[in-house]
Structures are given as structure tokens and as C-alpha cells.
Structure 1
Amino acid sequence: MKVVYFSVTGQTKRFAAKLNAYETIEIDPTAELEMKDPYVLVVPTYEAEFIAPVFDFLETGENQKFLAGVSGSGNRNFAELFVFSAKEIAKKYGVPLIYAFEFSGTKEDVDNFEEEVRELERKTTMVRAQQ
């Protein structure tokens, strides 16, 4: 499974750079990206206008179809608004919010995220095998 991410200030980009187990792909607002396999999306927490490229990406081709889960980065000081962008995407596209972390994440966050992605891969593989 691939990890697709979007970064505004560099926090999610730094998190993605720490991932060893998965190929990462950055959403580039100037280029169209179409996924052909299941992926996990990692997004920062910002108002929709700041992460509009994420929604453009999700509406491109069959990208919605291959979205397996979403993870969010944010600041816990914002209480109920912590990772609200990821929560909104999870709800809108009917996928699980698999992990939430602060800023660019810790080593523990990376390990936990990669474990969640492995679990999601297992579930995705089982569903495909049953079809």
C-alpha cells in the first residue's frame, strides 16, 4: 500500500520522510495524480481552502475508489479541532481514520502508523480475495 500525503508547512512531509515501510507520494497542486492501487492519505489540519489540492486529488479519476484510510496531523491544543481535516475526509469518503499525530510525529507515531497501515492492508487483501 502506498502513502499519499499533502503538506502545507512541511510537517506532514517530515512525517512521510520517516516512513520506511511504505512508498510515499506527495500531492503536487500543479500536477494531476491518479492512483491505481489502494493507498492511505495523510493530511494536515487546515481549513478546506488551504487543503483544496487534497480534495481535487480525491475527485480525480478513481482516486476515491482506492482510498483505504486517512491519517491526520495537527496540534492537540486545538481540542475538538485536532485533525478535523482527516476526520472530515474519513466521514465524507466513508473510510476509517486510522491514526492521528501531532506535528511531524514521533518515532512511536511512525511505528504505530505503519502498524495501522499493515492492518488495513490485511483487511483490504481479505476483502479483495472474497470478491
Structure 2
Amino acid sequence: MASPAGYLRRLTRRLTEDIEELDAEEMAESSHSTGALPVVECARGQEVTMYGRLRSVESCSRAAAAVVEAEFFDGTDSIQLVWIGRRRIPGIEPGRTLTVRGRVGERGGRKVIYNPYYELREPA
């Protein structure tokens, strides 16, 4: 059983810690519990399965080539997801939790996965 002092310490930490840090911590724990590879550990050329949340989603203008880009965050780091040939993907929107699979590449010094396989999830 937890001591009252331990409970108070955890409660104080929760009330005073930065919300983004707490969210990242919870997302990393959820990702770890699914057995997914953390983004921070994945390397170029590696086939990966990751669990996380979309922070932002952008689609191109009609004049440009059809592309949907999303920033995927799992609590440890972020990776860019790029779907080529699509202007919009139902369910791919900021705040959605998903599992993605694909091969890690690199673009402009950042990690990227082109045309990843994805499954929409409910938050764990």
C-alpha cells in the first residue's frame, strides 16, 4: 500500500508539472505497453511498428501534387508520416491515436515514413 507521503508527492508533481511533459510520459507508457518500438529508437531503413498520436495533419493545395503529411508523436520523439497520392484520408486528423507500420526513411534530417500502413485506435 502506498504511503500518504508518496501519494502527496505524486499529486503535487501532477499538479505542478508541465502538461505537455505529462502527456508525453503517458503516451510513452501507452506505447511501451503495446510492444511498439519507440520513435527515438528507430533508425533509417528499419521496418517498424509504432503506437502514438497525430500532433498535426496537413494536406497540399489542389495545384500541387496530392500529399497528406502528419506529425506522429509517441512520447519519446516525433516522426513525419507522408501519404503520397492522397488529398485527404478519413480519420487522419490531429489528436487521433493510431498504430503505424512502415520503413523509416529520412528527409531533411528528420525521420519519415512514406505511405505507412495505419490502424485507428482508441487511446489506451
TM-score (norm 2): 0.30
Higher helix residue share: 1
**Structure of higher CA gyration radius:** 2
Higher strand residue share: 2
TM-score (norm 1): 0.29
